[in-house]
Amino acid sequence: MKKLLNVLYVKLEDAYLCLENENVCVRQNGEDLLKIPLLNLEGIVCFNYSGISPQLMGACAERRIFVSFLTQTGRFLASVYGETKGNVLLRKEQYRISEDEKRAIRLAKNFVFGKLHNQKWVIERTLRDHGLRVDAESLKRASLFISECMRQALECGAMGELRAIEGKGAQTYFNVFDELILQNKESFMFISRNRRPPIDPVNALLSFAYVLLANECKASLEAVGLDSYVGFMHADRPGRPSLALDLMEELRPQFADRFVLSMINRKEIDPSDFERQESGAVLLKDEARKRFLTAWQQRKREEITHPFIEEKINRGLVPHVQALLLSKAVRGDLEEYPCFLWK
């Protein structure tokens, strides 16, 4: 099993990263701020504009440490990753499946089923833990509707139909998402999902969490030898990691949505942590983004029992396990792709 290592998030805009004696050295204005051994890292995510040295990028590529570049607002720009692990036969089979809708939909159904199942249990958890504080009837109706969408997802035979079912389930889920917010309701009101840019604090948090999760899914897929840019459900587009978006669908509710809800409901994020730009975009301030990333890393270290392999693993290893299971399904070693089903 892969060991869960750390991801270094670099937020200082004018910081520069270089290699020094097998250490990542973070420098600002000629001063060394931090040194971390390469062997302790599985990835580096840069929100800075000064960048990193070619020598460090080469060392990371050799050690299969992913390096990703994001804007200050969290929009993905590019990534650097080393030689693909796995054989060419796996990718050739992936490409064949992606071109055959009958084969692709068998995998896509499980991505959607997992997403719907996990959305349902986000709602059910709130009903169980806070039933007297929420509109229980509307949440129960939403849960029942999503259950019906789960049944339809397994029975449908066309990709367009599957995408429509996923869309109906997502709309129902986000229609009641505001009920799941229990603190600072006046500031963290959720009306609908919006992005590019997010125009309210809740959507700003969700978008940032989705960027982080997509980045981890992409790195996990590349690590097992799959092409993260060729998906089975998301259409191929230049520069879009479609398979990473496929894989993260089932992980969004538990790993991103519940994380955001916990940050709000525990008052770890405050209304004053956001700034509104002239364009209308709402963004996290630097200090709040730092707290968000720290909490994200801490959450990844929590232990859970994986529902398919039935072993205790760190939460942060779930994308790696799912990528490995997906590669086995593509090869034909597994009859079906076992999506991550959380309760």
Per-residue pLDDT of the chain in tens (343 residues, 90 and over written 9): 455 557 787 877 788 889 988 999 988 888 888 888 988 887 787 876 678 899 998 998 888 787 878 776 556 677 777 776 557 888 999 999 999 999 999 999 999 999 999 999 999 999 888 878 888 999 999 999 999 999 999 999 899 999 999 999 999 999 999 999 988 888 888 888 887 788 889 999 999 999 999 988 988 888 788 889 999 999 888 778 999 999 999 999 999 999 999 999 999 988 888 888 878 788 888 888 889 988 998 898 888 888 888 888 888 888 888 998 998 899 898 899 999 998 7
- Residue 319 to residue 260: CA distance in whole angstroms: 18
In this predicted structure, what is the pLDDT of residue 86?
59
List CB contacts of 107: < 8 A, sequence separation 6 or more: 97, 232, 233, 246, 326, 329, 330, 337
Do the Cβ atoms of 146 and 122 come closer than 8 Å?
A: no
Three-state secondary structure string covering 12-29: CCCCEEEEECCEEEEEEC
In this predicted structure, what is the pLDDT of residue 66?
77
List CB contacts of 329: < 8 A, sequence separation 6 or more: 107, 335, 336, 337, 338
Query: For residue 323, what are its two tokens?
Result: 């990528």
What domains, with CATH codes, occur in the chain?
Answer: 6-80 (3.100.10.20), 88-331 (1.20.120.920)
DSSP string of 68-103?
EEE-TT--EEEEE--SPPS-HHHHHHHHHHHT-HHH
- Reported as type and span, the H/E element at residue 211 is helix 201-223
Do the Cβ atoms of 224 and 327 come closer than 8 Å?
A: yes
- Residue 107 to residue 293: CA distance in whole angstroms: 31
Cis-peptide into 197, omega within 30 deg: yes
pTM for this predicted structure: 0.80
In this predicted structure, what is the pLDDT of residue 92?
94
In this predicted structure, what is the pLDDT of residue 1?
44
Do the Cβ atoms of 121 and 260 come closer than 8 Å?
A: no
- Residue 104 to residue 106: CA distance in whole angstroms: 5
State whether residue 37 is helix, strand or coil. strand
**Residue 84, CB half-sphere, CA atoms under 13 Å: how many?**
13
Residue at token pair 């004018």: 14
